[in-house]
Amino acid sequence: MRIGFIGLGNMGAPMAANLAKAGHAVIGFDMAEVSVDGVTMAGSATECAAGAEVVITMLPNGAILRSVAADIIPEMTKGATLVDCSTVDVDSARAVATDAESAGLLAVDAPVSGGVGGASAGTLTFMAGGSEAAFAKAAPLFEIMGQKAVHCGEAGAGQAAKICNNMILGVTMIATCEAFALADKLGLDRQKMFDVVSTSSGYSWTMNAYCPAPGVGPQSPADNGYQPGFAADLMLKDLRLSQQAAESADADTPMGQLAQALYAQFVENEDGKGRDFSAMLPRFENRGRES
């Protein structure tokens, strides 16, 4: 299959490389000068998209997605499929899908979970929105780039699933970090707390699989000086998307709203930028009730 891949950053590059390794003819484009194993580089996004059976985008935000889509949709062959793997706002995902379908294309919004490690290993999870026909066209590529793809519904449903999931993740991580900081001040050993909570009603992914306390539970970024597995900056981006969607849908999400405010303070006014999102734990350790 001839595949155009636009956006070859930390996530896009290994995804495109895995498609090339599987035998597909991958034409890539990025604003930066990059080189990806097995990928032929194009001089522009439109050149990348022209003649491709599938065009995959992995871009930073909805505004850039809309701009790129406006450029490439007129150049794509009717019947081709546009697969956006960026994490963007639901409204942008739906607007791009509408424009693509109006031009005779199939469209899928398919944000991913699994991070750079999952992109390299080909173990990502895709949350997809779009028609059955569009999902069926993209599914074989999802199998190469990931280990699981869920068709969540019509256009925008993939983005909705991603931001709802990550709103839970952000809120839960804050609660987990708060609890460890409280345990410290109460004189409760962190390992003992983990042993209780990880097998009790406080069980969560942030406790059991991604524990924010160094030396407790399975290996996590906390054991590597909070070097990011999932950066606090990206968590803030996703929480902002969740609250943008909540406002658009008139949904009451007070915990999501507070999580966004806390991560904004952590990233923009404290030392959270460039650190893992679990570095909220040392933040809470160093704060008292009124600070």
Tens place of pLDDT for every residue, the chain, 291 residues?
A: 999 999 999 999 999 999 999 999 999 999 999 999 999 999 999 999 999 999 999 999 999 999 999 999 999 999 999 999 999 999 999 999 999 999 999 999 999 998 888 999 999 999 999 999 999 999 999 999 999 999 999 999 999 999 999 999 999 999 999 999 999 999 999 999 999 999 999 999 999 999 999 999 999 999 999 999 899 999 999 999 999 999 999 999 999 999 999 999 999 999 999 999 999 999 999 999 875
DSSP H helical ranges for the chain: 12-21, 45-49, 62-72, 90-102, 115-121, 132-145, 157-185, 190-197, 205-208, 232-249, 254-269, 280-285
Report the pLDDT value the prediction gives residue 169, as an integer from 0 to 100. 97
Give the per-residue pLDDT at 60. Answer: 94
The pTM for the full model equals: 0.90
Structure tokens at 195: 């042993």
Q: What is the pLDDT of residue 289?
A: 86
162 is known as an active-site residue: yes
Q: Is 250 left (phi over 0), alpha (psi -120 to 50) or beta?
A: left
CA angle 253, 256, 259 (to 5 degrees): 150
pLDDT of residue 253: 98
State the catalytic residue, choosing from 162, 192, 237, 273: 162
Task: Tell me how far CA of residue 165 lies from CA of 11, 99, 126, 130, 162, in angstroms.
Answer: 19, 27, 12, 19, 5
